[in-house]
Amino acid sequence: MTAFSMKRTATALALGTALIALPAAAFAATATLKDTDGKEVGTVEFTQTPDGVLLKGNLTGIAAGERAFHIHETGKCEPPFKSAGGHFNPDDDSHGFMTEDGPHAGDMPNLFIPESGELTFQVYNDNVSLEDGEDGYLFDDDGSALIIHAGADDYKSQPSGDAGDRIACGVIEK
């Protein structure tokens, strides 16, 4: 087991313990994802934990397949969603879980959308924060957005994983 995966495992175990003490409605931010036609295709709730942010999402109407899922640097979602900028990367790290100097703070695991197009998921990101003054603060002057891409992230190509077009976007809001 690598040091990175050991940290993730330890963090996941600590997270499970920490969530017991959190109230059920403790999320501090949300994002409503829309496709390029403006149709709502999902919502994501963000909950601050002691060491990162837990994202809980529900998607509907996304084409089946493996899809890249990232936090982007600008809270703007004008189709084709280039307005969201690049990946959220306040520490100027390399992209991807498979690179020595990665990942970006906005890098997250791919989502696997079933044939139904409906998915409920939880993803933990210990490189971002909802608390002002902390490393990886998502509510800087221009905000942040969530993006789902047409393809899978290969976890190594620079600067964004060769994941293809942006098919859904949601501004992260308090």
DSSP letters, 138-156, are S-STT--EEEEESS---SS
User: Could you state, in order of their start, the residue ranges of all structural domains in the chain?
Assistant: 28-173
Mean pLDDT (whole number) for 130-136: 93
For 28-173, the fitting CATH number among 3.40.50.1110, 3.30.870.10, 1.10.10.10, 2.60.40.200 is 2.60.40.200
To the question of pTM greater than 0.85 for the whole model, the response is no
Please tell me the distance from the alpha carbon of residue 142 to that of residue 136, in angstroms, as a whole number. 14
SS3 category, 17: helix
pLDDT in tens, 73-121: 999 999 999 999 999 999 999 888 989 988 999 999 999 999 999 999 9
Contacts for 13 with CB less than 8 Å, ≥ 6 apart: none
Residue 143 falls in which region: left (phi positive, over 0), alpha (psi -120 to 50) or beta: left
Name residue 61's amino acid. G
Of 162 and 77, the structure prediction assigns the larger pLDDT to 77
pLDDT in tens, 28-75: 899 999 999 999 999 999 999 999 999 999 999 999 999 999 999 999
What band does 10 get if pLDDT is binned at 50, 70 and 90? very low
Place of tokens 């809270």: 75
Question: Does an H or E element contain 45, and which?
Answer: strand 40-49
Place of tokens 């600067």: 159
Of 58 and 16, the structure prediction assigns the larger pLDDT to 58
Q: Is 157 exposed, middle or buried (0-12, 13-18, 19+ CB in 10 A)?
A: middle
Q: Tell me how far CA of residue 152 lies from CA of 52, 57, 102, in angstroms.
A: 24, 18, 17
